Amino acid sequence: MNSLLQSLFMEHFSKVQINAMEKIYRLNLINSCTGYKSANLIGTSSDNGTLNLAVFSSITHLGSNPSLLSFIVRPTTVPRDTYRNIISNKFFSVNHIHVDDIEDAHHTSARYPSNISEFDVTKFESEYLNNFPAPFVKSSKIKLGCEFLNKYEIKENDTLLMVAEIKDIYFEKDFINEEGWLQLDKAKSVAINGLDGYALPTLIDRFKYAKPKK
């Protein structure tokens, strides 16, 4: 496609234009332009036993041996219950969001006081599995029990990268194949587009381990 045709069909924003955008417009654009993100609920407990549940779209695989994941905590200049609970108690759960639960899952992003549990203001039920110290979401089809290991400051925007080890994995038996691969579309796990758009991915295909062509 030559540059003239491309200009007819493609929109372009420069850094100057992005910086000059209205805040919410820019926020929506930058949060959606990098593609679909994972959609999970992180469950924690405070020192006084108040349960917390919050939606996160930044949980990312870090490695398989050891089994590590990471996620981003926004600047802690305002109260962050999930962050405080994890630093204090070390353990938390990661729960896939089922397609039937997206409205209540999104509602967990509302700023409730620390003494109010999101489990009490949504339809979600908490459950404890095998003496793991953090609450899981009962309706979640795939859930992970995690232990906090370390945090790293990202100076460019004052966020924190949280690193944790996966200690337990729970899922329904028919989601996994003989290779150990979890088929997430069978679980009806949703993804997040931007900040507030929820999508249900469908498997297109799987491919063998790629090697250079000869």
> Is 107 part of a structural domain of the chain?
yes
Q: Where are the beta strands (DSSP E) in 40-127?
A: 40-45, 51-56, 60-64, 67-73, 91-96, 126-127
Q: CB of 146 within 8 A of CB of 92?
A: yes
> Is 172 part of a structural domain of the chain?
yes
> Is 77 part of a structural domain of the chain?
yes
Mean pLDDT throughout 70-87? Answer: 89
Mean pLDDT throughout 192-199? Answer: 95
> Is 189 part of a structural domain of the chain?
yes
Look at residue 4 and tell me whether its pLDDT is greater than 70. no
Q: CB of 72 within 8 A of CB of 54?
A: no
> Is 22 part of a structural domain of the chain?
no
Please tell me the total count of domains within the chain: 1
> Is 100 part of a structural domain of the chain?
yes
> What SS3 class is residue 31?
helix
Indicate the pLDDT class of residue 3, thresholds 50, 70 and 90: low
> Is 173 part of a structural domain of the chain?
yes
Q: 57: closest CA among 203, 182, 194? A: 194
> 114-162 pLDDT, tens per residue?
999 999 999 999 999 999 999 999 999 999 999 999 999 999 999 999 9
User: What type of residue sits at position 13?
Assistant: F
> Is 130 part of a structural domain of the chain?
yes
Indicate the pLDDT class of residue 5, thresholds 50, 70 and 90: low
For 46, residues 6+ apart whose C-beta sits below 8 A from its C-beta are: 52, 81, 84, 85, 88, 89, 114
User: What type of residue sits at position 192?
Assistant: I
Give the C-alpha separation, 44 to 21, whole Å: 36
* CATH at 156: 2.30.110.10
Mean pLDDT throughout 185-213? Answer: 93
Mean pLDDT throughout 195-203? Answer: 94
Global pTM value: 0.92
> Is the alpha carbon torsion for 87, 91, 95, 101 positive or negative?
negative
- Domain, as residue range, for 185: 38-199
Give the C-alpha separation, 128 to 135, whole Å: 5
pLDDT at 75: 82
